[in-house]
Amino acid sequence: MSKEKTLASKMLYDGRILQLYKDDVELENGKTSVREYVRHSGGACVLAVDEDENIFLVTQFRYPYGAETIEIPAGKREKGEDPLACATRELEEETGLVADNMRLLASVYPTPAYTDEILYLYLATGLKETKAHLDEGEFLGVEKVPFEKAYQMAVKGEIHDSKTLVAIYAYAAMKARGEF
């Protein structure tokens, strides 16, 4: 198994949602290199599927891309927060839904080259309506979309968000195996 030894570590930036580090490392061949990376508390997201096989997608403007994205409900984990608690909170906050059943679909490393972020993807079923309550400064739209349409949107490249693509494809694989 490959491993790099940290020789020195320096935090370059300590922000509200992330920290940026620059480390000097020793490689397995004895040479040295520099690693720049982001520490992030990670997040949780939810593929919410109703009894008619509709899923709930959110649209919101994402500043780094300068564009609106199509995503499943998701949010950042608070320090020490259980991923399931985060997913449950975000589902209700963003869509006004609560679920009788939450099942972990996958945990993914969205960008392993430069961050330690882990995203936990859940499947929510047995949905009931409550009331959405967005975070301050959060503006998004919610759409109920038939799963097959969402799957086709993913296949055609209309959805770019990785967590949403993984969740859609994971659910499609579960359906193909007869799990739903």
Question: Are 82 and 130 members of one domain?
Answer: yes
| Tokens describing residue 11 | 């935090």
Of the candidates 26, 90, 136, 143, the residue annotated as catalytic is 136
The number of domains in the chain is: 2
Distance, CA of 179 to CA of 171 (rounded, Å) = 9
Query: Is 129 among the residues known to form the active site?
Result: no
Question: Are 58 and 114 members of one domain?
Answer: yes
Question: Are 118 and 53 members of one domain?
Answer: yes
Q: Please tell me the pTM assigned to this model.
A: 0.91
Distance, CA of 16 to CA of 14 (rounded, Å) = 7
The pLDDT, as a whole number, for residue 180 is: 77
Q: Do residues 111 and 36 lie in contact, with contact meaning Cβ atoms separated by under 8 Å?
A: no
The pLDDT, as a whole number, for residue 2 is: 82
The single-letter code of the amino acid at 16 is R
The pLDDT, as a whole number, for residue 151 is: 98
Among residues 68, 52, 76, which one has the least CA distance to residue 125?
A: 52
Question: Are 139 and 168 members of one domain?
Answer: yes
Distance, CA of 132 to CA of 135 (rounded, Å) = 10
**How many residues are recorded in the chain?**
180
Question: Are 63 and 112 members of one domain?
Answer: yes
Distance, CA of 125 to CA of 19 (rounded, Å) = 35
The pLDDT, as a whole number, for residue 135 is: 72
Pairing, β 32-39 against β 97-108: unpaired
pLDDT tens, 22-44? 999 999 999 999 999 999 999 99
Task: For the chain of 180 residues, list the mean pLDDT of each consecutive stretch of 10.
Answer: 93 95 96 97 97 97 95 94 97 96 96 96 97 79 97 98 97 92
The pLDDT, as a whole number, for residue 108 is: 96
Q: Which domain range does residue 20 map to?
A: 5-39
The pLDDT, as a whole number, for residue 132 is: 80
Question: Are 118 and 35 members of one domain?
Answer: no
The pLDDT, as a whole number, for residue 125 is: 98
CATH number at residue 138: 3.90.79.10
